[in-house]
Amino acid sequence: MFKIDKNKIPYHVGIIMDGNGRWAKKRLLPRLAGHKAGVDALKRVTNAARELGIKELSFFAFSTENWQRDKEEVDGIFDLVLKHLKENYERFIHDKVKITTMGDISKLPKNLYELLVDVSNKTKHNTEFIVNIGLNYGSRSEIIRACNNLIDKGKKNITQQDFINELYTSSLKDPDLIIRTSGEQRLSNFMLFQSAYSELYFTKTYWPDFNKKHLIKAIKDYQSRDRRFGKIKQEKK
Ligand code: FPP
């Protein structure tokens, strides 16, 4: 297999972290043990992404549909996010990581909401590396919210840029690559507008097992794709 091309690293990578439950089940562990191992994977992959030169990383941590899970699991996921943010708060500032969120975070438990607002504010001037977390996020709600924002602003005729400005991701580039783990091959309401030209990569690996090697494999696959954005391929002269 060819080596990774340092000049063609995807700028923004979106990750649908799937398979935590199955990872736990395989080990006869409670589902929350899978999510806990999922946070370890998130840390591993964040470090690896930064080392490889990725600039923006979006994680789908909790969808608008995930509220339908048992309360114990939902509360457990929020606790894990809270713990991760608390433990890494100083590190984000020191390492110049900007934390952004997408989704209606006002519906999250108050302590998590307040911490997310605080860490987003404290890190908003960092430009080195962005970690964007999808929490109570669903792309359809995001699109409807953008439309309502535009109506509220009295807009009658809008451009693509007007619309993009109302998305949670307005400060981010569109994802170049979207990775989904655990063998499922769908976007499940993740960045539907933003993914118009994203390359999609699916792997059978469960999220808690995903590591730097898997990320490199996904990037190499991405680099082998011919991204044309609707244009005709430029022949080499
Ligand atoms: C999908 O696996 C995973 C989730 C719904 C939760 C993922 C959340 C975390 C890993 C915590 C995120 C932490 C931070 C700091 C952002 P699944 O439960 O749907 O797996 P299954 O399909 O095998 O049941």
Establish whether residue 35 lines the binding site of ligand 1, counting it when its CB lies within 6 angstroms of any ligand atom: yes
Establish whether residue 20 lines the binding site of ligand 1, counting it when its CB lies within 6 angstroms of any ligand atom: yes
Whether 237 maps to a domain, the answer reads no
Check which CATH number belongs to the domain holding 209 and give it: 3.40.1180.10
Whether 233 maps to a domain, the answer reads no
Establish whether residue 21 lines the binding site of ligand 1, counting it when its CB lies within 6 angstroms of any ligand atom: yes
The count of structural domains within the chain is 1
Whether 235 maps to a domain, the answer reads no
pTM: 0.96
What does the mean pLDDT of the chain come to?
A: 96
Protein residue closest via CA to atom 24 of ligand 1: 21
Q: What is the pLDDT of residue 228?
A: 82
User: By percentage, how much of the chain surpasses pLDDT 90?
Assistant: 93
Distance separating alpha carbons of residues 233 and 215, to the nearest angstrom? 27
Whether 153 maps to a domain, the answer reads yes
Distance separating alpha carbons of residues 115 and 126, to the nearest angstrom? 17
Q: Which range marks the domain in which residue 127 is found?
A: 9-223
pLDDT in tens, 178-224: 999 999 999 999 999 999 999 999 999 999 999 999 999 999 999 99
Q: What is the pLDDT of residue 50?
A: 98
Buried b (16+ CB within 10 A) or exposed e, 154-171: eeeeeeeeebeebbbbee
Distance separating alpha carbons of residues 194 and 15, to the nearest angstrom? 13
